[in-house]
Structure formats: structure tokens, C-alpha cells
Structure 1
Amino acid sequence: MPREAEISVNERAFIQEALQEKIRLDGRAFDAFRPLTLTFGDEYGVADVQLGKTRVIARISVEVTAPLPERKFDGIFQIVTEFSPMASPAFEVGRPTDAEVILSRILEKAIRRSNALDTESLCIIAGLKCFALRADVHIIDHDGGLIDASCIAVMAALQHFRRPDVVVEGEKATILSAREREPIPLSILHQPLCVTFSYFEEGEIFLVDADLAEEQVRQAELIITMNQHGELCQIAKYGGATVDPLAIVSCTTVALQKVKELTKFIQSRLEEDAKRRNVGGFMAELSAENAR
């Protein structure tokens, strides 16, 4: 089975000794993220996130379907992850790795189960028709930090997406095109984001946003999901080393600061994209002169 190229013994020792001297290989502080870029596609609901050399693309799609029998007043929302073989030799189509299972589980708990999206707003006719929303997460390049980058991509894509408006007459629902009526943004109740802490030396050293080399050396990871209001949505720990409770409290403080910064960054990029799309507006399109 294909797998990631393992780090050498010398590289492992070098990274560990550098961390003991309070030095990261790329010169970052222990609580610093790598350079983050966020761009949106021409269509609504496409977010391209680059965190260092890691790249994740999230795409939101929607269709009309029947709601689940046990949830007649709710729409449907699901998150699907796809690991491209070109991102890492460890990824193979049709054979999910542990990393893919963990990522799917974390995103499910962080976004869907925390009710970040108001699924009741996706209901069209109770028990008959609803919007089924799907978030596809594509891993394009893998250099560590997949969970944090994927969560940023999904939340940014959800806030960027616009669903079509609908007219309901009795049990008949008519979906309107963008030309007929302006699409509607989704109802986002809160904006949870993940911050992953990698720890070394039996929990004495914690790093934010570890790259792939640091991930291969770490003893375990601690994933904290919060929103900008300080509400804790999830804490997940993977790995064998134990974590001191006071260290977890310290990590939540750092995570809150990072979540506030990331939320502000996403909002600024959304505003920039909105300004870019609204240049001239629809009236300018109607009054545009002939190119001849």
C-alpha cells in the first residue's frame, strides 16, 4: 500500500533538538500560522485555501430533494472529503487512509454537528421538498495542517455560497434562476474553526500549524474547535502521549486568539470579493454599450 515517505532519523533528531532550543525550521514562533491565502472562484461557493504549501479547495453544491423522514422540517447538509493522489503518495483513490477518516470525522463534528449551518432554512415544503447542500473538500497539496486548512475552506465556502430563491404555491415549488431573482446567502449560525496543536517532549512543547515534517515527529495532536465568541465546539486528541489539563486550558486561550484572527481574515476576503462582484451591478450590465 502506498505511504508517505518517512522522515530520516537524522532529520527527526535535528527537529527535536531545534524545538528544545525554541527554534522551528521555518523560523516561525511556536504559536504562528504559516502564510494563509484565500481566494474565491467565479461561481459562488468555491473557496481555495493555501496554508503554506498545503492547498485545499472546498466547493458547495445544492439540489432539491425530499427531506429525511425523521427530519421533515430540515434540509440536508453533508461534507465529503477527497484526497487527490497528486497531493501525497500516501493517498489512493478508493482506499481512505487514517488521515482521511480523521479529517472527515473532525469536520463532521466541528461544522455539521455544531449546527454552524441552519438546516431549517433549507426546508422548502415540510416533509416533501428541501435543499440538499453538499460540501466537497479536495486536498490538492499536502504539507501538514490539513484539518485547519479544510475547516477554513469549508466555512469560507459556506459563507460565500448563494442558494437559488424559490416560490412555493401549495405543494408546488418553483426554483428561480439568478436572472429571475438574486440568490440568497445561507443562514450561518456561528463560524467554528479548528486550531491544531502538535506536542512534543511529553507535552512540554506545543506547536500551532505543524508542517508535514513536524507532524511526522510529533508525539500526538490536540484539535480545538471554537468560534470567535469563545464557545468551545470540540476537543479531539489523537496520539499516545498524555496532555496536562492546564496545558489544554492554555491551548484554548491561544486557539481563541487564532480563531478571532482567522474569522476577521475570512470576513475581509468575503468583503473584497463582494466589492469585486458588485462593480457596476446588474443595472450596469443592462445599460452596457454594444462592443461594436
Structure 2
Amino acid sequence: MARKRKGRDISGWLVVDKPAGLTSTAVVNKVRWALQAKKAGHAGTLDPEATGVLAVALGEATKTVPYITDALKAYEFTVRLGQATNTDDAEGEVIASSDARPDETTIKEALHAFVGEIMQVPPKYSAVKIDGQRAYKLARDGEDFEVEPRPLWVEELVMLDRPDPDHVVLAMTCGKGGYVRAIARDLGEALGCFGHVTCLRRIWSGPFRAEDGLTLDQIDALAHSPELDSHIRPLEEGLEDLPQVRCTDAGLARLKNGNPGMVVASDIDYGEECWASHDGRAVAVGRFKAGELHPSRVFNQ
């Protein structure tokens, strides 16, 4: 018999302003402990040394994680020009260097090549899988391997500051699966001077913003208290990018059992993915077909 997981049945989102020096998994574990939650996960991994918004899904909200993962995200980061590292960030070893330092105009012109639909090769020290194994593990073991390029949508990439000849501060808005370290690496190569990330902060992810997040110190201070519960945001915020339909009373009963149910909709195309609500609460996500929602995920709130 499967062991029943202990904890509270709470659903929603807690937005964390992640500090440097912790993995995303460690942050999720801290949140789960502080809320005594039965189930928790995060939407979009941040590197250990990165800071900023990490949206932690609780309970039934974990079913909406893919929609936040797919949403646009914004980053601010600093690139150290003149050096390449084996990890593409400041944690790695310098493997190449250059005395070349491009001027601001050259940098701004080079950024255009990284906007729109681009092909990006993730860093070798990343969580992508190569023949079933994580790339970072193969890299640490000294294995020789190649990472295949993958498509990435970059909405915007702009220069914010040039504090000194060795550094440039950039802001990027991109879609799912983007590696800021790869942008720094490839920009350095395009400029002929090498480059790696020294500082990275995620400003927002979908509807969640870093300035609205709690720090880990705040979470520690509020642990196991109703005040921490008051910071939990509705599950429905994770569905913001999907159109909404409304269940009929009869449709509600059918959808709760995982069956197609009648919904009231406007401006929804046949086969379009959407979410159904009843009294403002999410009931299911699915495809709209001939007046019914055919559910792929059902929420038990």
C-alpha cells in the first residue's frame, strides 16, 4: 500500500524572491516546510547563484505549472567581457580570454541577432538530458559530448548599462527554455571577445514579479502562521494566459468527474485550449468543442 504523504491540503502560489546560493529545489523544500504543505513544485528553474522570482506552486496549482513555464519571463544580467568559462558563469574556470573590448554601438548592433526566433545551444553545465543523463553530470565527469541546439523565442534584448569596459548590463524577455548563460557566451563569441554571466536576476515570470515575492528570511519568520497563508495567491493566476469559459451547473458535475461538460463561452475557437470556472474558481483545463470543455486537467479545490 502506498504511503500517504503528510501535510496540509493547500492550493495556490507563493512567490519567492530567491537569494543567491540556493537551488530552486531547496527553496521549494523551505516553502513546503514553512506552510506544512503536502505538495509543492516550482515553475522554471533558476541557477543556484541567480536571484529573483521563483513561483512555488502548492497542491492543485502544481497542475498549472506548465502554463507558467511556457509564459514569457524577464531577466536582468551582467556579462563579463573578455573571458569565457566552462560553465558560462562566474562559478566556472576561465578557458579563454581576450583583450578586445567592443564599444557600446557595436554591442547594441550585435544584440539584434539574438532577438526573435533563434536557435540556442544550452550550456554543457545545464539540466538538459543527453542520452538519459543530465548534461552537467556528464560535464563534471569529463565526458566528451555535444548539446543539440533548440529553438528559443526572444521577445527583447537590450543594453541597460556599460559600467566599465569589462562589463555590460542587459535585459532580456524570452519564452520557455532560455539560458541566459548561453546568451552571454554567444554574444561574447559574436563580439570576438568572449563573455560569461556574473550576475543574473529574474524580474518576472508570467504574472509573478520579484518585487511581490517574499524573501526566505520573511518565510522563516512567518513559518507555520496564518500570516504566511495570507500571501498565497489563487491557483487561477497560473492560468492567466489561457482564455476562460464558465461551467453550467450540469457541466460542473460532469467536469468534476473528468467528463466533457457544458460551458458558456464567447470568442473561443473550436479545439482551443481554455479553462473553465464556476463561481470564479478553476474547475478544469481542456479543449473547447461544440459547447463543451473536454478536460485534460481537473482541479479538486
TM-score of the aligned structures, taking structure 2 as reference length: 0.24
Relative contact order (alpha carbons < 8 A, sep ≥ 6): 1 or 2 greater?
2
Q: Greater helix share, 1 or 2?
A: 1
Q: Greater strand share, 1 or 2?
A: 2
TM-score of the aligned structures, taking structure 1 as reference length: 0.25
